Amino acid sequence: MTERLLFAFYGDDFTGSTDAMEALTIHGLRTVLFLEVPTEELLDEFENVQCIGIAGTARAKSRYGMREELLPIYEKLDEINPQYIHYKTCSTFDSSPETGSIGYAADLAREYFKHQQYPVLAAVPQLGRYTVFGQHFAKMNEQIYRLDRHPVVSKHPITPMIEADLKVHLMEQTNQSVGNINVLEIEGGVTEKTAESVDEEIIIYDALKEEHLDEFANQVTNTNRNESQFLIGSSGVEYALGKLWGDPSYVEDTTQNSTEDNRILVVSGSVSEITSDQMAQAVSDGFHIEQIPYYYFGYDELPQDFLIKVTELIEEKKKVILYTADGPNDPAIEKMKEHVNDTNDIGYTIGHDLGVWTKKIIENCHLDRVIISGGDTSGFVTKELEIYALELLSSISPGAPLCVAYSKNEIFNEMQIALKGGQLGGKDFYKRVMTCK
C-alpha cells in the first residue's frame, strides 16, 4: 500500500463493524473490512482502498481479554499510520467497567496515540441515536427513549445501560478527564468553545441531527497532523467523515448480488425485542423458526440428531431461523445463565458454540447466503468460517448490509452474509435479505 490510508477503524463487535463499512462505502469510499489484523501482503491484495476496518469482539470481553485483543491491533494501526483511527462502539454505547469497557479501550490507546484529545461521537441520527447535553437517546418502534429507560438497552443481559449521561458512564470506566461539547455550542459553530480550548482528554460531542455530524467532521479534520488522530464512537463518525470526503454521485453496484440458491439460514444469538419482532414477521413471511435448547451449549458438538433435523429443515422449508432466545423476557435466558454458571462467560459460550455449529450446518447444506443476528454472535461465527475480509454488496437496511465474504476456506469464500445487530434492521429484514437480487 503506497499511499497513506485515509481512515481505519476497529469495531468492538462485528455487526457494528459492517455498519461502519457501509457508512463509508455508500459515500463512494472503497472500504474493506478485515476480520483479522491484516498483514502487508493481505492489504496489497485489495487495490484502490481508501479505508479499512478491523472487526473485533472487545465488546464481549473482560479487561484482560480486551488488552490481549486490542494492543496488537493498536500496534498494527499505529504502524499503518492512517490519517484517522476510530474505535467503533455500538451506537447505544453498551459497556461496563468489567465488560467491553470503552474507557479502558481509550486507556489502552494512550500507549500508542499519546498527546491528543480523543473526540467521542455516539450519536447517529440516521439510525435514531441522539446525544443532547451529554444524555444519550435511542429510537425504538418510532418512540425515542433516554438510554436508561430504553426497554431493550437498559435490560441488556451482560451490559445493561442504566446511565444515560455518557460523561458519567465513561468516567466509571477510565481515570481520564471527560468533557462535553453540547448541542448549543455545536449549533453556534463551536466558535467559543472549540475542542482545542477544552482541557479534558476525552470530549463527547452532542448530535441531534445530521447537520451536527457535519460540524463534528469539520472539527476533527481542521488540522493537518503527521500522527493518526484517534476517535471513539458509533458509525456516526463514518457517516460524518464519509459525507465530508465522499463522492455525492456514487451509485451502489448491485451486479454481484444475485444468487441462484433459494435457501437461507438465519442464526440468532440476539435477545433484543427488535429481533423478536423480526422473527415473528419472518414466520408470517414463510420462515421456519427453531429454538436451540439451552442445555446444548457448553459442549462444542451439536447433538447429531439436532444437526440432522436442521439440515432436513433447510432442504424442506428453505428458510430457517435458529435462535437462542425470543426477546429479553424469554425464560431460556435465565436457564442459560444457570446452565453456563458464569455470567462473564455466557457471551463467549453462546458465540463460540453458535460459530462451530453454523460452520457445520453450512458445510452440510452448501448454502450461498446466510444471516447472523447479534453483534457478539457475528464475531464468533465469522471466525469459525475463516472469513478474513468483507465488502459491501447491498444496503439492505441502515447498519445491516449484505456483504461478500473472503474466506481462506473454499466452502465459504465469496459466500454472501448479512451481519445484523440486535437493535438494527426493519421488521421484514430477513425477507429483504432473502429476496435481494
| CATH code where residue 333 lies | 3.40.980.20
> Looking at the 3D structure of the chain, how many domains does it have?
2
Residues 81 and 186 in one domain: yes
Average pLDDT, the chain: 90
Is 174 within a domain? yes
Residues 122 and 216 in one domain: yes
Crossing angle of helices 375-384 and 14-25, in 10° steps, is: 90
Per-residue model confidence (pLDDT) at position 64:
95
Measured CA to CA, the distance from residue 206 to residue 208 in angstroms comes to 7
Per-residue model confidence (pLDDT) at position 228:
96
Is 255 within a domain? no
Residues 128 and 272 in one domain: no
What are the pLDDT digits (tens) for 115-173?
999 999 999 999 999 999 999 999 988 899 999 999 888 888 788 889 999 999 999 99
Are the beta carbons of 319 and 289 closer than 8 angstroms? no
Q: Which of 245, 279, 310 is the last residue of a domain?
A: 245
Per-residue pLDDT for 290 more than 90? Answer: yes
The separation between CA 128 and the C-alpha centre of its own chain, rounded to angstroms, equals 16
DSSP string, 111-136: TTS-SS-EEEE--BGGGTEEEETTEE
Residues 219 and 299 in one domain: no
Q: What is the DSSP letter of 409?
A: S
Residues 28 and 78 in one domain: yes
Residue 16 — very low, low, confident or very high, per pLDDT cuts 50/70/90?
Answer: confident
Lowest mean pLDDT among 166-180, 342-356, 382-396: 342-356
Q: What is the mean pLDDT of residues 389-397?
A: 91
- Percentage of residues in the chain with pLDDT exceeding 70? 94
Residues 132 and 274 in one domain: no
Is 120 within a domain? yes
Lowest mean pLDDT among 40-44, 122-126, 259-263, 345-349: 259-263
Q: What is the mean pLDDT of residues 35-45?
A: 89
What's the Cα-to-Cα distance from 95 to each of 98, 123, 158, rounded to whole Å?
Answer: 8, 16, 9
Per-residue model confidence (pLDDT) at position 4:
86
Per-residue pLDDT for 256 more than 90? Answer: no
Residue 301 — very low, low, confident or very high, per pLDDT cuts 50/70/90?
Answer: confident
Per-residue model confidence (pLDDT) at position 344:
54
Residues 239 and 274 in one domain: no
Measured CA to CA, the distance from residue 371 to residue 405 in angstroms comes to 12
Per-residue model confidence (pLDDT) at position 89:
97
Q: What is the mean pLDDT of residues 276-287?
A: 95
Residues 270 and 386 in one domain: yes
Q: What is the mean pLDDT of residues 398-426?
A: 90
Per-residue model confidence (pLDDT) at position 262:
85
Measured CA to CA, the distance from residue 9 to residue 264 in angstroms comes to 30
Q: Which of 214, 245, 276 is the last residue of a domain?
A: 245
In the sheet that holds 129-132, the strands lie side by side as 129-132, 135-140, 143-146
What are the pLDDT digits (tens) for 157-213?
788 889 999 999 999 999 999 999 999 999 987 644 555 667 899 999 999 999 999
Highest mean pLDDT among 74-88, 144-158, 378-392: 74-88
Higher pLDDT residue, 247 or 387? 387
Is 334 within a domain? yes
Residues 368 and 273 in one domain: yes
C-alpha cell of 348? 463467549
Is 252 within a domain? no
Per-residue model confidence (pLDDT) at position 419:
87
Per-residue model confidence (pLDDT) at position 222:
87
Residues 227 and 291 in one domain: no
Residue 397 — very low, low, confident or very high, per pLDDT cuts 50/70/90?
Answer: confident
Q: Which helix (H) or strand (E) holds 186?
A: helix 183-187
Q: Which helix (H) or strand (E) holds 337?
A: helix 332-340
Per-residue pLDDT for 437 more than 60? Answer: yes
pTM of the model as a whole: 0.82
Measured CA to CA, the distance from residue 292 to residue 87 in angstroms comes to 33
Residues 187 and 272 in one domain: no
Residues 208 and 282 in one domain: no
Strand partners, 32: 52
Is 154 within a domain? yes
Q: What is the mean pLDDT of residues 275-292?
A: 94
CA torsion through residues 156, 158, 163, 168, sign = negative
Per-residue model confidence (pLDDT) at position 14:
78
Is 419 within a domain? yes
DSSP string, 4-59: PPSEEEEESSHHHHHHHHHHHHTTT--EEEESSPPPHHHHHTS-S--EEEEE--GG
Measured CA to CA, the distance from residue 319 to residue 304 in angstroms comes to 21
Q: Which of 245, 277, 292 is the last residue of a domain?
A: 245
What are the pLDDT digits (tens) for 306-328?
999 999 999 998 999 999 999 88
Highest mean pLDDT among 211-220, 222-231, 390-399: 211-220
Per-residue model confidence (pLDDT) at position 432:
93
The boundaries of the domain holding residue 377 are 264-435
Q: In this structure, what CATH number is given to the domain that contains residue 20?
A: 3.40.50.10840
Is 308 within a domain? yes
Q: Are strands 129-132 and 264-268 parallel, antiparallel or unpaired?
A: unpaired
DSSP string, 348-386: HHHHHHHHHHHHHHHHHHT-SEEEEESHHHHHHHHHHTT
Per-residue model confidence (pLDDT) at position 188:
84
Measured CA to CA, the distance from residue 240 to residue 192 in angstroms comes to 22
Per-residue pLDDT for 244 more than 90? Answer: yes
Measured CA to CA, the distance from residue 424 to residue 390 in angstroms comes to 19
